[in-house]
Amino acid sequence: MKLVVITPEAIDPREPAVLGALFAAGLERCHVRKPFASCEELTTWVRAVPAEFRARLVLHQHHDLVAELALRGCHWRDDAHASLISPADGGLTSRSCHDLATLRAALGRFDSVLVAPIFPSISKPGHGPRADFPPAKISELLATRTVMERHTAVIALGGITAENAPRCADLGFDGVAVLGAVWHAADPVRAFAQLQLSLACHAA
């Protein structure tokens, strides 16, 4: 199971140091979601991350910086234009999916997709699974993927914790993405380690 971390929307001065520790602890991919940051602010933010780990960053905004700063790839919001764009340098492609039709259309076309919400959100109170997009229906779709469609890693997002992360594996997801479980924790690195352990024990 893949374990992805997403940054908080607001720039937090502790992020570079925490991310350095998370990457050193085994984090393979971080999605950088800074919707209110200018290109200059995001450039400064990225340059504060230890250079050896920048190739693990996926940007949600200011995609031109991916090639300029040698980052991992681009992520697009759940909109009609996402499927029309791909990084010029062949980097990772990712998009958000919030309904079954979008998820179906994305399979086999992107390297990964973030599917949300799966559980009640930690970072967005009141935001949780919708009646028209329940985890059970998502699981049914994942179970019937073709070989080509399985080239797209389907990542669960929304309310993921060390306690419920293994359930995402049972539902058929290829990984989980976390935000609140790490950044709202008193010790983000310890919280990340607990998620790692939970997934590893479930896979054993």
One-character DSSP codes across 17-81: HHHHHHHHTT--EEEE--TT--HHHHHHHHHHS-GGGGGGEEESS-THHHHHTT-SEEEE-SSTT
Please give the tally of structural domains in the chain: 1
CATH at 63: 3.20.20.70
pLDDT of residue 123: 73
Q: 76 pairs with which residues across the strands? A: 95
- Boundaries of domain holding 111: 2-203
Please name which of 187, 160, 151 lies closest in space to residue 4, comparing C-alpha atoms.
160
- Contact present, 21 and 189 (Cβ < 8 Å): yes
pLDDT of residue 84: 63
Q: What are the backbone dihedrals phi and psi of residue 112, each rounded to the nearest 5 degrees, phi first?
A: -155, 160
pLDDT of residue 89: 66
Specify the DSSP class assigned to residue 111: S
Q: 92 pairs with which residues across the strands? A: 73
Per-residue pLDDT tens digits of the chain, which is 204 residues long: 999 999 999 998 889 999 999 999 999 999 999 999 999 999 999 999 999 999 999 999 999 999 999 999 999 998 767 766 666 667 999 999 999 999 999 999 999 999 999 998 777 777 667 778 889 999 999 999 999 999 999 999 999 999 999 999 999 999 999 999 999 999 999 999 999 999 999 987
Q: Report CA dihedral (101, 102, 106, 112) to the nearest 10 degrees.
A: -130
Strand, coil or helix: 160: coil
Question: What whole-number distance in Å separates Cα of residue 118 and Cα of residue 137?
Answer: 11
Cβ neighbours of residue 156 closer than 8 Å, sequence gap 6 or more: 115, 116, 118, 168, 171, 173, 175, 176, 177
- Contact present, 27 and 3 (Cβ < 8 Å): yes
pLDDT of residue 11: 92
Strand, coil or helix: 175: strand
pLDDT of residue 37: 97
The amino acid present at 78, given as its one-letter code, is: D
Q: 57 pairs with which residues across the strands? A: 30
